[in-house]
Structure formats: C-alpha cells, structure tokens
C-alpha cells in the first residue's frame, strides 16, 4: 500500500492505495465519484477523462499514485452551487448527448480545448475530441455544443457558470 494525498473536486483526501490502482477506480470505487464512467478496457473511449493538474487525462490510463500531491477535477466538480458551466448548459441545450455515457469525458476534453483555444473551429473541435468516442449522437450536436459554449463564454466575458433555469431542466 502507498499513502496518497490528492485534492478531488475541491476536497482533500488521504488514502492508502495499491500501487496498481487506476485513478478511474480510485475515483469511482474509493471516493464514490461515479460521474466519471469507464467505457472500455483499452484506454480508447475517453469516457473516463478528468482534469489532473490542469491537463485532461484518461483516468483509466493513470495510476492513483501518479495523482499524489495533485488536484483532480471531475465532471462532478464543475458546477458551483447548482450552477452549470457554459459547456454543461450547451450540451444540455444543444442536445449534445443521447445515452450520456460519453458525456462526462466529452465535457472534460472540451473544457481542456476551450482553455487552450477559446475560439476553435468545428474542425478543431473534432480534432480535439478524437480521443473521445460516442456511440449515439453522430458527433454533430457535440460539436455544436462546444462551439455554442465557446461563443457564450466569449460574448459574456467568460463567466464561470450560469444558473440552471427551469426551462433548461425541463
Ligand atoms: S474508460 Fe478510459 S479510455 Fe475508455
Ligand atoms: S451519448 Fe451515448 S455514447 Fe455518446
């Protein structure tokens, strides 16, 4: 066992873990953060994508011990006080999902893209999300959602989050 200290979604954790434990399993099984799904066993689908120290990573391809001393943000850590981020709202409003299994990874990868490139083209969005697979949507509405979020953040001085409205949740 190895002792790790890691901040996840703003909460500090200290745990003894097996050196072989994957970060995805640590998040889901130890911390109960099942909002980060596991969609494959070959590190190809991207469903498990989280932010580790400012960079999006596939948490099934990272050991929990590699996160020691670091900060992890999962899709569950994005909203603040019931307020979704522009990306979360855009996925909802543009119907950028069907079954939703890929959605946490899509949002975390798109978040990384918009941080690096706040004004991406549709091609750049597709390129940035090529490591994230979706079996349902055909990707069109995912790309539209990311572009809409970029536009919204641009036109509203990049607010961190927006209140979830009744119509958005209807
Ligand atoms: S579960 Fe991590 S890439 Fe598929
Ligand atoms: S919405 Fe079902 S896998 Fe993407």
Domain count, the chain: 2
Domain boundary among 77, 97, 121: 77
Is 38 near ligand 1, meaning CB less than 6 Å away? yes
Same domain, 111 and 90: yes
What is the C-alpha to C-alpha distance for residues 67 and 14, in angstroms, rounded to an integer? 11
CATH of the domain at 24: 3.10.20.30
Same domain, 12 and 72: yes
Cα 144 → chain centroid: 17
The per-residue b/e assignment along 50-75, b for 16 or more CB within 10 angstroms, e otherwise, is: bbbeeebbbbbebbbbbbeebbbbbb
CATH of the domain at 120: 1.10.150.120
Same domain, 95 and 143: yes
Same domain, 93 and 39: no
Same domain, 113 and 54: no
Same domain, 162 and 117: yes
Domain boundary among 60, 77, 94: 77
What is the C-alpha to C-alpha distance for residues 117 and 110, in angstroms, rounded to an integer? 10
3 state SS of 46: coil
Same domain, 51 and 71: yes
Same domain, 109 and 63: no
Q: Which atom of ligand 2 is nearest to the CA of 106?
A: 4
Q: CB within 6 Å of ligand 2 — which residues?
A: 97-102, 134-137
Same domain, 53 and 73: yes
Domain boundary among 77, 102, 133: 77
Q: Which atom of ligand 2 is nearest to the CA of 135?
A: 3
pTM for this prediction: 0.89
Report whether 102 contacts 134 (CB < 8 A). yes
Is 105 near ligand 1, meaning CB less than 6 Å away? no
Enclosing domain of residue 16? 2-77
Give pLDDT tens digits along the chain (170 positions).
999 999 999 999 999 999 999 999 999 999 999 999 999 999 999 999 999 999 999 999 999 999 999 999 999 999 999 899 999 999 999 999 999 999 999 999 999 999 999 999 999 999 999 999 999 999 999 999 999 999 998 765 444 444 444 443 33
């Amino acid at each position: 066992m190895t002792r790790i200290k890691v901040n996840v979604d703003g909460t500090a954790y200290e745990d003894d873990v097996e050196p072989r434990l994957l970060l995805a399993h640590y998040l889901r099984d130890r911390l109960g953060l099942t909002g980060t799904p596991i969609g494959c066993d070959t590190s190809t689908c991207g469903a498990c994508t989280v932010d580790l120290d400012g960079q999006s990573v596939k948490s099934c391809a990272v050991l929990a011990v590699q996160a020691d001393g670091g900060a992890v943000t999962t899709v569950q850590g994005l909203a603040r006080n019931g307020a979704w981020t522009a990306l979360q709202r855009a996925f909802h409003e543009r119907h950028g999902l069907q079954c939703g299994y890929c959605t946490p990874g899509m949002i975390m990868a798109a978040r990384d893209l918009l941080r690096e490139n706040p004004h991406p083209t549709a091609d750049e969005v597709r390129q940035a999300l090529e490591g994230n697979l979706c079996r349902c949507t055909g990707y069109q509405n995912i790309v539209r959602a990311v572009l809409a979020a970029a536009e919204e953040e641009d036109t509203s001085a990049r607010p961190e989050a927006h209140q979830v409205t009744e119509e958005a949740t209807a």
